[in-house]
């Protein structure tokens, strides 16, 4: 794999991780939202998906983000009879978002993004060094 291809592959990874971080940020933003109507369902956690695709022109495997899928795990519930979103028994459904898990997923996505960025920087430095050697 040449240096330009490694930069293109790293850029595809950075785009995919950036998309993943957007999905996680949406989950964190909606972690405490409730339903708009009494007894209704609140925000449902989304999970980012990735897929790999072999690019014949580059002779390399690229990664791209897929459509986010909904996490079908059960909602949390909290007894709060004064809440307008409470059902007849006084329970409010809360999103199935665990902020601790979201923070850990965000950290993992950031580290993957940083790894791709390091590949990009190393490739760029090697390319610059090669150009310097060719000038002599």
110 to each of 19, 52, 87, 104, 107, how far by Cα in Å?
11, 19, 39, 10, 5
The pTM of this model reads 0.86
Q: Report the C-alpha gap between 103 and 17 in whole angstroms.
A: 14
Count the domains in the chain: 1
* Residue 93 structural domain: 3-135
Distance between CA atoms of residues 1 and 12, nearest Å:
15
Backbone φ and ψ of 73, nearest 5°: -70, 165
Each as own residue / partner, the long-range contacts of residues 20-26 (CB below 8 Å, 24 or more positions apart, any chain) are 20/48, 20/50, 20/65, 20/105, 20/109, 21/106, 21/109, 21/110, 21/113, 23/47, 23/48, 23/68, 24/48, 24/102, 24/105, 24/106, 24/109, 25/106
- Over the stretch 76-135, which tens digit does the pLDDT of each residue have? 999 989 888 888 898 999 999 999 999 999 999 999 999 999 999 999 999 899 899 999
pLDDT level of residue 1 (50, 70, 90 thresholds): low
* Segment 36-82, tens digit of pLDDT: 887 789 999 999 999 999 999 989 999 999 999 999 999 999 998 98
DSSP assignment letter at 75: P
Q: Which single residue is written with the structure tokens 């006084």?
A: 90
């Amino acid at each position: 794999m040449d240096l330009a291809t490694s930069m293109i592959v790293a850029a595809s990874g950075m785009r995919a991780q950036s998309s993943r971080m957007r999905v996680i940020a949406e989950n964190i933003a909606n972690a405490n939202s409730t339903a708009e109507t009494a007894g209704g369902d609140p925000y449902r956690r989304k999970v980012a998906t990735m897929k790999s695709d072999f690019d014949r022109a580059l002779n390399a495997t690229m990664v791209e983000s897929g459509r986010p899928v909904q996490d079908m795990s059960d909602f949390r519930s909290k007894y709060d009879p004064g809440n307008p979103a409470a059902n007849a028994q006084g329970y409010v459904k809360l999103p199935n978002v665990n902020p601790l898990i979201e923070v850990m997923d965000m950290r993992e996505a950031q580290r993957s993004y940083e790894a791709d960025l390091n590949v990009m920087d190393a490739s760029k430095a090697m390319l610059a060094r090669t150009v310097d050697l060719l000038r002599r």
